[in-house]
Amino acid sequence: MPRIITPSTPEHEINERNARMFGSPKERLDFYRREIQYETSILANRTDAYLTAQSFLVIAFVSCMGNLNPGWGPSFTLMVAPFLALLGVLSSLNAWPGIHAAFKIIEHWQLKQSHLLRSEPMMGLAYDESPLFSEAETSRVGHRKSLLFSLRTPWIFLVFWIVLGSYSVYIQMA
Residue 99 · residue 48 · CB < 8 Å: no
First and final C-alpha spacing in the chain: 80
Rounded to 5°, angle at Cα 164 from 160 and 170: 150
Residue 84 · residue 59 · CB < 8 Å: no
pTM over the 0.85 mark: no
Convert the pLDDT of each residue in 68-115 to its tens digit.
888 888 888 889 999 999 999 999 999 999 999 999 999 999 988 888
Domain boundaries, the chain: 25-173
Residue 87 · residue 93 · CB < 8 Å: no
pLDDT band at 135 (very low <50, low <70, confident <90, very high): low
Distance (Å, rounded) from C-alpha 3 to C-alpha 17? Answer: 10
